[in-house]
Structure formats: C-alpha cells, structure tokens
Structure 1
Amino acid sequence: MNKEVVRERPDLEEQRKLGYMLDDNLESLRREGVYEKTRELRYPYYSVDPNTGFGWITALVYVNGVEAAQIGVMELHREFTRYEYELIHFLCKLVSLELQKDDFYKQNQSLMHSVFLSDLLEERVRDARTAKIRSRQLNWQLSDTMQLLTIFDKNYGVFDRKAQLIGEQVQKLLAGSRWVIYESAVVFLLPLPLRLLERPRPEDAIAEYLAANRLYAALSEPFGDVLALKKYYLQCRSAFELGARLHPRRQLYGYADYALYHIGALVSKSGRLADFCHPAAPALAEYDKQHASELFPTLEAYLEHVDDPTLVAARLNIHKNTLFYRINKIKELFGLELRSGSERARILLSMAFMKLE
C-alpha cells in the first residue's frame, strides 16, 4: 500500500493486515447507502467519506449475476477522471473472469458466507476477535454449541455438478445453518446440534433426504470453538470413510460412533492392530466361531451400555436374564474382571480394532 495513503489513513493499513473491513468503515458505507447506489448504477460510484473528506470510487464484481466482491479506490491529490471510472469498470470484468476460472467460486454462489466458512476450514482465521467481527458483519450469531454436518457422494464427478442444489435444499431442513462446497462435499455449520434444531426430529428429515438422493452424511461431535472448524470437518470425513467401510448400508454416520475405529486407523499406521488387542477379544471371536454362539456381540453391546442392561437386552433381542447368563459365562470362560473400567475400555477398543483388520 502507498506510504502516503498509510500515513493519511492508517485504518486502511490495519484492514489490509487483518483481511476484513473495520466496523466503523463498514458502518459508514452502509449509513451513506454506498453499496445500494452502486448496485443500482451497475457502474463505479463516486462518494465522499463524511468522516475523512476523502473521495472514493466503489465498484462491485459480479459472477454469473451474483455479487462476489467489492473494489474501492481512494482519491489522493487529484480528482478522478472518466478514465479512472472506465478502468475500474474494466478491472471488475477482469476480476469476474478470473473468479469464474476458480472452482470454489463456480460452486459457491452464496459467496460471502462461503468464503468465511472456507477461511475457517483452511485455518486462515487465526483469532476469536476476527471470527467474531466477520460473523457479525455477515449477521451470523455464533452459538456456544455448534455441529458440522457434511454431505458426501461416492460418485464425486456427478456430485460436483449437483452440490449447489443439495446445499440449497438441505439448508431448508436445517434452520439457521450456513454451508460451503468444500473438497467435493457440502459442509454445513449448524447453530445447534442436529437433534436440537427447531424442527420435529431433524435427523429423520435428513435421513429421508439422503435416502431419496443416494447421498451420505457425517456428523461431528458438538463444539464451541469456531476456530477449530477444520478439526471437526476431519471428524466428519473420518466418520464417512470408516462408516462406508464398516456399515455400507447406513447413510448417516456420527463421529461418536466411530471414534474408537478412528483411533484404530491411526494406531494401524505405526503397527499391527492385533499387537494392541486384549487377548480376550480374539479368543471370544474364535469361541463364537467354534460353538456358533454370540458371546462377542453380547459383550460388545454390554460394554457400550454397561449401566443399562434393559437397553442391551432389547438391542440383542434377548431376555435380560439371558444377558446376565451370557456375561457370567464370558467372565468364567476368559477370566475377565469387568468391574475394572480400564479393562472394559481396553476390551471394547480391541473389538473395534478387530473389525478394521
């Protein structure tokens, strides 16, 4: 930036470093109706900033008729001539052409919201203050507990062409959500966990949409730090990849259901998963194979809901007394001490590891 401009308007240099407009400058533009007048003209518009006395040309860049960017040029030492207006108008067309070459701008038509989400996913927003200001300028209300829902399609080439429509349709099912097309997926930031959105059983509506359109989706764990968006996006991607492998008939995968498998996938990069397994887990599987029994799934269900035997029995479709009989038999056969939390955790983790082998 020109040194003289920096001296005259240090706030512009601050904006350049931060990567977004300061609230005072944005509010001044809105108060003077600069953007509305520029949109009406569809041509560079001249105005004088009442706070500083500097003249400005403001121009808008359109991509396929959608407002994608703004250009501002400050008057310094001499007045603008008609040549500057034409030059800036031509610059807008050039910028529009360049943006249309970029897949991100082709795919995302709600650009200002999508750019902010993309910046969060790429970790380009580095502090909470910046995130708060940018969200406020977009009229977002970031909540204390959010969640990511990411929609995938195994047929990526076709998906890229219909992703925009998917985003628009699913947003109607997810009140207050924002979305972006990112890495051949549609990523939704939900203002509340899916189960709490203002809609009767939103999980059912999403599941129905996924089934009707042969799509897949993954849910992150709930979170409160929007700067950690990439972490929770990677949770979605891991849940989708593991879920598609382990439960291909499902279409909605929650990361909480695949966290143990994710640990296994990471551990497998440094050694054989079998080397980390509790010896009782493979022994149980072998016993079931030889005796046509169901001790392995019984113990797995029991460990997942150890404080709710009624739920476990219902899920296994057996009587509660049968459940207790099987658990006691497992303890006797394999010498297990299931009162130990660490032993229960290791066995359950081992069972997840075995499914990845």
Structure 2
Amino acid sequence: MLQKIDVGTCYRIVFEALALGDGVQSIVDALFDYTKMPIHVVDNSFKVLAASFDRTTGSPHLDEMIVRKIVPLDVVIGDYCRLGYLELLEKHQKSIVVDWGVIEVPQASAAIRINGHIAGLCATTFSNQEQALEALEVNDILCKALAIEFDRHQRGEVLPADPIHQVLTREIFCDLIPEQIQKGSSDLINSSLLQPGYQMAVITSIVPNNTMVQYVQKAIADVFPGTFYLNTGEYLYLFMDNFPEGDSAKNRNKTVGQLMEKYQCFCGLSGVFDDLAKRSNFRLRAQKALEIGHAIHPDKNLYFFDDYYLEIVASYAAEGLGEAGYTLPELEKLLEIDRKKGTDYYLTLKTHLVLGNNMNLTAAKMHIHRNTLVYRLAKIEEIIEVDINDLEVVRRLKAAMTLRYVAETMHHHEISSCPQHQDFWARLP
C-alpha cells in the first residue's frame, strides 16, 4: 500500500531542514526520508545541486546524473529543449507532470524562482499515478523552500529564524505581491499550520508616512509575535490566527486600538472567519471598514466591519448605480425646496424614518414641538405625494437616503471637508 503523504507534515519537514542552514541536499534528503519519492534539483545551467533516491527506478540516466553532477547533454537537448518542457515550466507557476527521460518515469516538475527569475529546476518522481497529486503538492512546497535557500545563498544572508512563518506570509498575501500578481500566484497555504479563527486588519497612518507604519509593525510584532504582516508602504496588512473569543478578543482589539492612538494610525478590522480560502474577501472587508469608517468617524482609530456593514454595502451600490441611479424624484423635490427656501424638510423626513416614524422621538431629536412636526410632515407628504407611513415607501426612501448619505460622506472625505449631519444617519441616538 502506498504511503499517505500529509502536506502539513511536508511543510514542517522542509522548513525545519531549511532553518538548519545545511544546504539544498539536506532539505531534499529530509523530504525524501518522509515521502520516499525520488527528488533531484538542478540550477539554471543544469548542474545537479542535490538528489535523493532509493534506486528503485533503475534509471541509468539518473545514476549517471548523480555521479557526474550534471544532466547529460542529450537529455538537456532531447527533453528540456526539443520537447518543450523548459518552456512549459517557464509558463507555469506551480508544478506540472512531465515524463522526462532523465529518470524515465513521470515526475512533478517546477521552476525555482527568485524575484520572478528562474534559478533552477526541481522534480519529484512518482511511480504510481495515485501519487501524482501528492507529488505535485510536495514539489510545490519544496520549490518554495529552495527559492528561499537559493536567495539566502546568493545574498550571503542568515536565514530568518522562522522560515515557515516567512513562507506562510507570502502565501497569505500572495495576491498583494506585485511579482506574484504578474506571474500568477499559487496557493499552497495549509490550514494545519494555522489555528482558527482568523482575522484580517488593514492599517494606515494619519498622513502618508511609511516610517510611522513601520513603527506600528514593530510594535504589533512585539505584542502579537505570531502575527503575519505585509507592509506595502501605504498600508500595513495583518493576518491573525487563533483569534480568541469573549473578553480575550475584546482585550486584543483594545490593545490594537491603543497602538493606533499611540502612533496616530487607523485600523480597519474584518470579522472572524474559519475558511482560509476567504482571506482575501475578509481583507477587503477590513479595507472597506477602514475607508468608510474613517470617512464617517475621522476622530476614531479603530473601525470594525460589523459596525459599518450597512454603509459599506451602500458604498458599493452607490458607486455602481451612480447618482442618477439611486436618486428618487420625490426626495430631489425636498432637497430643491430646502436649497431655495432654507427649510429642513429632507433632514426632518430622514430623522423621522431613522427613528421608526416615532413622532415623539423625532420632535425631541429635531428640538421642535410635536405639533410643529405634525405640520411639517404633512407638508412633506404634500410635496412628495407619497404616504410616508407606507412600509414599502419607507423602505424605498430609506434606501435612497442611505446611498446618498454614503456617497456624500465619501465625497466630502476626499476633499477634506465634513458634511453637515454627517454622523447622524450612521448612528441612532
């Protein structure tokens, strides 16, 4: 029976070997000891850098390659060039199945890339088609580790203390890294290495100041050492796993808020989620919470997606429909009269609808007598020619008012001027 290979175990084996710093061969050997699938690695001149195998394939090409430490010329010309495998590997970011004469059996092969440039090739052999998918996953993991090892060797740098954390960071934020976006990113993230629940955060400074964001990055790393982050200069993106519940979560958010105040930064937070595949969606939620929340409450530093859900959804609708798409003729009449005569019909109606058509609450909020409100509402109904107590009418008017409110808030935020009554629609008294 074939051994069942666990991807999470492969991650740990490969990056623990990488952390030891003993070179390419030690990494390959460590992985082979677990998978028992032959592996060979060559640089971009086809020199053999490492190979691990149990000689069960009986391949004369493989034996010769190991002894001579180079791929024979006839194999290079015949397989890599003439059959187009090298071109295929250049086009694919993840491993593909090829049948190279190098070892005369199918293998998962991929290019090892450093900053988008091919630095070598890596292949994991499998003798049974049932192992094909596993071989592809194993080879992808190995390529990630070898890319770090190649880059470290070229730079002569000391490997970071936690290479697994480094690679996971690349995977978590793969769609934000320019070279991966251009080349086409692969998703190798494995949930066994992370603990639910997850939360995304997006941070920016009070002025475009990368130095301040870097201070925040260091501070968060000190307080929450397991946090994954990507600093793009304008924004600092955070991914937090094993997010606590209850009071622990509140304390964690409080700490983040205190850091934002200390360094004059703003932070948008997504809700907590358990599906890693949705992390980009939740990062967007955090981004929109930051964008909309700061526009509505520029005096705050921390913005939660759930607190601005209605406004965030409305912002998409307002942008998609445009002003001509969401405005209603009856409301435009009120606004026009208010502009010409200085009345407060629109604000009165908005307040009344927000407060559930409660006459007493509306009168108190508007600081007017109840009889004055009755007269004013009757006048509004006369102007717009609709029954403002009809549930369907109320639903339509509130939707249009919400879209207008969000659109105007974002517009005024962009020109650094706060609109009158800005905070009212978002928060009930």
- Could you say if the C-alpha distance between residues 119 and 195 of structure 1 is closer, same or farther in structure 2, counting changes exceeding 3 Å? same
Query: Which residues of structure 2 form unaligned runs of 5+?
Result: 42-48, 54-61, 71-119, 121-145, 382-386, 412-429
Is 1:230 equivalent to 2:280 in the alignment?
yes
Aligned twin of 1:332: 378
Match of 1:116 among 144, 147, 171: 171
Q: Which amino acid aligns with 2:399?
A: A
Match of 1:153 among 205, 211, 222: 205
Q: Which amino acid aligns with 2:269?
A: L
Q: Aligned partners of 1:202, 1:307: CA distance in 2, in Å? A: 39
Q: Which amino acid aligns with 2:16?
A: Y
3-state SS of the aligned residue for 1:337?
Answer: coil
Q: Aligned partners of 1:266, 1:306: CA distance in 2, in Å? A: 28
Q: Aligned partners of 1:199, 1:303: CA distance in 2, in Å? A: 35
Match of 1:95 among 151, 163, 166: 151
3-state SS of the aligned residue for 1:167?
Answer: helix
- Could you say if the C-alpha distance between residues 309 and 210 of structure 1 is closer, same or farther in structure 2, counting changes exceeding 3 Å? farther
Q: Is the 8 A contact 1:149 1:187 kept in 2?
A: yes
Q: Aligned partners of 2:167, 2:355: CA distance in 1, in Å? A: 44
Residue by residue, what CA displacement relative to the aligned partner does 1:158-213 show, whole Å, maximum 9, x if unpaired?
A: 41x45454234235667975433347312223458899561545554433322221
- Could you say if the C-alpha distance between residues 173 and 78 of structure 1 is closer, same or farther in structure 2, counting changes exceeding 3 Å? same
Q: Which amino acid aligns with 2:388?
A: E
Aligned twin of 2:56: none
Q: Aligned partners of 2:333, 2:292: CA distance in 1, in Å? A: 25
Aligned twin of 1:4: none
Query: Which residues of structure 1 form unaligned runs of 5+?
Result: 1-8, 16-20, 59-70
Q: What are the equivalent positions in structure 2 for 1:1-357 lying under 5 Å apart? A: 22-23=7-8, 25-26=10-11, 29=13, 35=16, 39-40=19-20, 42-43=22-23, 46=26, 47=29, 49-50=32-33, 73-74=51-52, 76-77=62-63, 95-96=151-152, 110-119=165-174, 124=185, 131=189, 134-136=190-192, 138=193, 140-143=194-197, 146-153=198-205, 155-156=207-208, 158-159=209-210, 161=211, 163-170=213-220, 178-182=228-232, 184-191=234-241, 196=246, 198-200=248-250, 202-220=252-270, 223=273, 225-245=275-295, 247-253=297-303, 254=305, 255-256=308-309, 257-268=311-322, 273-274=323-324, 276-286=326-336, 296-297=346-347, 299-300=349-350, 303-304=353-354, 306=356, 318=364, 328=374, 331-335=377-381, 336-338=387-389, 339-340=391-392, 341-355=395-409
**How many equivalent residue pairs?**
296
Q: Is the 8 A contact 2:295 2:409 kept in 1?
A: no
- Could you say if the C-alpha distance between residues 41 and 112 of structure 1 is closer, same or farther in structure 2, counting changes exceeding 3 Å? closer
Q: Which amino acid aligns with 2:63?
A: H
Deviation at 1:42, TM superposition (A): 4.6
Q: Aligned partners of 1:226, 1:308: CA distance in 2, in Å? A: 45
Q: Which amino acid aligns with 2:170?
A: V
Q: Aligned partners of 2:245, 2:357: CA distance in 1, in Å? A: 23
Q: Aligned partners of 1:192, 1:326: CA distance in 2, in Å? A: 56
- Could you say if the C-alpha distance between residues 179 and 276 of structure 1 is closer, same or farther in structure 2, counting changes exceeding 3 Å? same
**Aligned alpha-carbon RMSD (Å):** 5.3
- Could you say if the C-alpha distance between residues 110 and 323 of structure 1 is closer, same or farther in structure 2, counting changes exceeding 3 Å? farther
Q: TM-score, normalised to structure 1's length?
A: 0.58
Deviation at 1:219, TM superposition (A): 3.0
Q: Is the 8 A contact 1:149 1:189 kept in 2?
A: yes
- Could you say if the C-alpha distance between residues 173 and 50 of structure 1 is closer, same or farther in structure 2, counting changes exceeding 3 Å? closer
Q: Which amino acid aligns with 2:7?
A: L
Q: Aligned partners of 2:290, 2:369: CA distance in 1, in Å? A: 32
Q: Is the 8 A contact 1:218 1:239 kept in 2?
A: yes
- Could you say if the C-alpha distance between residues 97 and 79 of structure 1 is closer, same or farther in structure 2, counting changes exceeding 3 Å? closer
Q: Aligned partners of 2:168, 2:329: CA distance in 1, in Å? A: 51
- Could you say if the C-alpha distance between residues 214 and 22 of structure 1 is closer, same or farther in structure 2, counting changes exceeding 3 Å? same
Deviation at 1:277, TM superposition (A): 0.9
3-state SS of the aligned residue for 2:281?
Answer: helix
- Could you say if the C-alpha distance between residues 187 and 172 of structure 1 is closer, same or farther in structure 2, counting changes exceeding 3 Å? same
Q: Aligned partners of 2:282, 2:36: CA distance in 1, in Å? A: 46
Q: TM-score, normalised to structure 2's length?
A: 0.50
Q: Aligned partners of 2:347, 2:164: CA distance in 1, in Å? A: 48
Q: Aligned partners of 1:51, 1:275: CA distance in 2, in Å? A: 61
Residue by residue, what CA displacement relative to the aligned partner does 1:116-166 show, whole Å, maximum 9, x if unpaired?
A: 21136669466xxx65xx121x2x1233xx54221013644x41x454542
Aligned twin of 1:61: none
Deviation at 1:346, TM superposition (A): 2.9
- Could you say if the C-alpha distance between residues 124 and 91 of structure 1 is closer, same or farther in structure 2, counting changes exceeding 3 Å? closer
Residue by residue, what CA displacement relative to the aligned partner does 1:292-345 show, whole Å, maximum 9, x if unpaired?
A: 6655455445545639999x77xx9x4699697676555422224243233432
Percent identity of the aligned residues? 12
- Could you say if the C-alpha distance between residues 149 and 197 of structure 1 is closer, same or farther in structure 2, counting changes exceeding 3 Å? farther
Pick the structure with greater CA Rg.
2
